[in-house]
Amino acid sequence: MSKSGRITPDLAVIEQVSQTTIRKSAALLRAGQLVAFPTETVYGLGADATNDTAVEAVYAAKRRPKSNPLIIHVADVEGAHRIAELDERAKKLAREFWPGPLTMILPRHPRSAVSTSACAGLSTIAVRIPANETALALIRETGRPIAGPSANASGKTSPTIAEHVVQSLGEVIPMVLDDGPCRIGIESTVINLSGAKAVLMRPGGITVSDLEALIGPIAMPSATTEADHASPGRAQSHYAPKLPVRLEAVDVNSDEALLAFGPDPLNGAGKMRNLSPAGNLDEAAANLYRMLIELDDSEFRQIAVMPLPETGVGQAINDRLRRAAAPRPNPRN
């Protein structure tokens, strides 16, 4: 183990980012292993997207349904063209928002080397270029596109620091590449451009108004459309801590933990974290998952959440909170 490595017995090694650890991570990926890596949104569970066995290992590690496609990370627009077909709308968005927290669902290139399993057997592919120098260096060093869903058990709270990756998946992956806290803190915006009509599949760090300024009106998805299955992050219950979540809280009890927002947090909670005392939504997004994890303590009955504005990135924060509060699926026997 390198001097920078931190390890708990039987858990993944956490390695600080360096040229050496990036090369080590890339070698593991080329060998078909899984490596958790940082992006500007959340930590991703990386695998060689061209390796069927490695992609299957991602689904197994996350306990993720194989009908749920993975986001494929590339280092540049040329890499995107090799695996997907970009129309004029996609090219406009790529010029403006890549690298960045935008995933586009596009027709799969007929000569794409990406595993069909990573695309859930669909004729579409979800692609993005992350705005994180470590992630980009890792993709370039690996020399292959990297499948990178969030590095957590499926449906659970996404990790924005390396230690939370280990808490969720440390027993099933060998290494976490540590680049500190994620800057944005919520997953990418996902837009489906595989058809004539652009459809917002998941709100994120780039707002609908930002997108519509370039490509015109964007539709909202129907809960029953087949196209929903082309996108990650569409499950009703998702991003969920172990404790139940109560939204729009205007009061709080001592047996509840409180996720507060703004300068006037509610009094009386057993434990409290404030997403942004200043009421800044970007700060709230960056703190969301870390604070949910910190409040997820069996000492409490549930997590109460104060209201947040449904404007700008607040739309994405509220989307994650509504999914965290949704009825949980029955556990498998």
CATH value at residue 54:
3.90.870.10
Neighbours of 210 (CB within 10 A): 15
**DSSP track, 197-237:** S-EEEE--SS-HHHHHHHH---BPPPTT-GGGGGSSS--SS
Per-residue pLDDT of the chain (333 residues; tens, 9 = 90+): 333 555 444 678 999 999 999 999 999 999 999 999 999 999 999 999 999 999 999 999 999 999 999 999 999 999 999 999 999 999 999 999 999 999 999 999 999 999 999 999 999 999 999 999 999 999 999 999 999 999 999 989 999 999 999 999 999 999 999 999 999 999 999 999 999 999 999 999 999 999 999 999 999 887 544 445 566 655 566 788 999 999 999 999 999 999 999 999 999 999 999 999 999 999 999 999 999 999 999 999 999 999 999 999 999 999 999 999 998 765 443
Q: Which residues, 6 or more positions from 235, have their beta carbon under 8 angstroms from its beta carbon?
A: 68, 155, 323
Range of the domain at 296: 245-325
pTM: 0.91
CATH value at residue 313:
3.40.50.11030
Does residue 253 sit in the same domain as residue 134? no
Where among 204, 230, 256 does a domain terminate?
230
- Residue 7 located in a structural domain: no
Secondary structure (3-state) at 36: strand
Q: Into how many domains does the chain fold? A: 2
Does residue 108 sit in the same domain as residue 156? yes
Does residue 60 sit in the same domain as residue 121? yes
- Residue 4 located in a structural domain: no
User: What letter does residue 280 receive in the DSSP assignment?
Assistant: -
Does residue 160 sit in the same domain as residue 50? yes
Does residue 303 sit in the same domain as residue 169? no
Does residue 176 sit in the same domain as residue 286? no
Does residue 190 sit in the same domain as residue 249? no
- Residue 238 located in a structural domain: no
Residue 305: what are its φ and ψ, rounded to 5°? -125, 125
Pairing of strands 44-48, 146-147: antiparallel
- Residue 109 located in a structural domain: yes
Does residue 153 sit in the same domain as residue 60? yes
Distance CA 43, CA 33 (A): 16
Distance CA 204, CA 185 (A): 10
